[in-house]
Structure 1
């Protein structure tokens, strides 16, 4: 486990989170008006959550956590970024939505949380690449889930990550070394209204992250095997030819409902996948 790189990533996320939220307008008002940041895919995968005790891992600034809380779950969001957790805590108070947030490395949180304590663990979009130990992650999830509890996961597809921004094949799918990057980008600005909460705001311009970041590559087979070996039964694995909200590559277009697809004429490829697993 590379806790040194996790700490470097914490600093990078602190800087990026400020930029991200500068584009999202009055988020508290968005939630007070009944808004939700969950896409139809997450809602379908989650199903009925009213009354469930839930844990949202790598919750970022808490928007999805609050959206799940609005559905009636008793939920705690966990993230490594101080800035993200401070923002999420204040947003919950301003929006009047009950949810708890804790700042912690996900591995530390899972190691110290009570065993068999939650009905639901949720994680979504751009989370796996920050984890240096996939088996410890899967085992921690299995540990905190109650018997019969579910893990609901949706993520950008690792196959898409072999491409550079201009769709040039650049990275190995099978990569065992951490990738050093220039820092977490302002992907909210890059995606425009695809990832804005409410109306997109110009916010911070020309963001350059002063802190480098380090990413880890995990294939679909590695993820499903880690979950299975941790004692979870994978009930479904789905792939999607679009990316919700995220315009990660040149020329991506909104095919409807903020489902971003490659440029016209390019073959369809998997851009997201989801897993539902049960203890």
Structure 2
């Protein structure tokens, strides 16, 4: 586990989070009016969350977490970024949607929650979480430890295949999987500015312009085999594995075309490719 790199990433996320939220208009009012930032794919994978104890790991600034609370879940969000969790708490207060948010490294929080005997009906991870996990085996064991018997792990993620491609999406530029470290001198970018309205359902604002992150970042390359194997080794039973030929809110490379519903896909003259991955796994027991 590379805790030193987690700390570097925390600083990069603090800077990026401020830029991201600068583009989103009056989010509290959006939620008070019943708005949601969830896409249909994660809602279908999650199923009915009413009354469920739901843990959202690497929850960022809490918009999806609060959207799940709007559906009736009792939600807890965890993220390493101070800025993200501070924003999530403010958004919860200003929108009137109850949620609990913790600022912590996900590994530390899972260990401490297991020691406290906390369990959840659903553990949820979404969009962009995988590349920030430096130790997949420890993470999977931590997820399994806080799942109640019969509980489910549910995830929606950009497909690891995309991480291999160059900025044009045409050339294999990186090796696949195995936990390799990719380091970037300029850390997390302003992906909300790239995606535009697809990631700003409350309304897109010009916000911060020409954002450059002053902090580096470090990502970790994991393949589908890495992911599924560690979940199985942690004692979970795979139930669903899906691939999608588009990406929600993520123009992954130059030339992607916007589709209805905030989706992006290769242009019509290019072959389809796997762009998102959905997975559910269950802890056995009653």
Q: TM-score range by the shorter chain?
A: over 0.9
Relative distance call for 1:136 and 1:183 in structure 2 (3 A) is same
Relative distance call for 1:29 and 1:136 in structure 2 (3 A) is same
Matched, 1:235 2:235: no
Within a 5 Å distance, the mapping from 1:72-151 to structure 2 comes to: 72-113=72-113, 114-115=116-117, 117-151=119-153
TM-score by length of 1: 0.98
Unmatched 5+ stretches in structure 2: none
Q: 1:200 aligns with which of 189, 204, 215?
A: 204
Q: Alpha-carbon deviation of 1:244?
A: 0.5
Q: Alpha-carbon deviation of 1:259?
A: 1.6
Cα distance between partner residues in 1 of 2:77 and 2:177: 31
The CA deviation string for residues 210-257 of structure 1, in whole angstroms up to 9 with x for no partner, is 000000000001100100000000101000000001112111112221
TM-score by length of 2: 0.96
Aligned to 2:40: 40
Contact 2:162 2:252 in 1 (8 A): no
Q: Alpha-carbon deviation of 1:177?
A: 2.9
Cα distance between partner residues in 2 of 1:262 and 1:8: 33
Aligned to 1:26: 26
Aligned to 1:214: 218
Cα distance between partner residues in 1 of 2:201 and 2:261: 14
Cα distance between partner residues in 2 of 1:42 and 1:236: 12
Contact 2:192 2:199 in 1 (8 A): yes
Count residues with an aligned counterpart: 279
Q: Alpha-carbon deviation of 1:175?
A: 5.0
Q: Aligned with 2:200: secondary structure?
A: coil
Larger displacement relative to structure 2 (255-264 or 64-73): 255-264
Matched, 1:265 2:280: no
Cα distance between partner residues in 2 of 1:2 and 1:22: 31
Aligned to 1:246: 250
Relative distance call for 1:197 and 1:256 in structure 2 (3 A) is closer
Cα distance between partner residues in 2 of 1:21 and 1:76: 21
Q: Aligned with 1:143: secondary structure?
A: helix
Contact 2:134 2:179 in 1 (8 A): no
Cα distance between partner residues in 1 of 2:174 and 2:73: 39
Q: Aligned with 1:266: secondary structure?
A: coil
Contact 1:125 1:156 in 2 (8 A): yes
Unmatched 5+ stretches in structure 1: none
Aligned to 2:259: 255
Q: Aligned with 1:25: secondary structure?
A: coil
Q: Alpha-carbon deviation of 1:197?
A: 3.0
The CA deviation string for residues 67-91 of structure 1, in whole angstroms up to 9 with x for no partner, is 0011111110000000000000000
The CA deviation string for residues 240-277 of structure 1, in whole angstroms up to 9 with x for no partner, is 00000111211111222112101221100000001100
Aligned to 1:50: 50
Q: 2:158 aligns with which of 140, 156, 159?
A: 156
Q: 2:182 aligns with which of 179, 182, 204?
A: 179
Q: Alpha-carbon deviation of 1:25?
A: 0.9
Two-structure CA RMSD over aligned residues (Å): 1.0
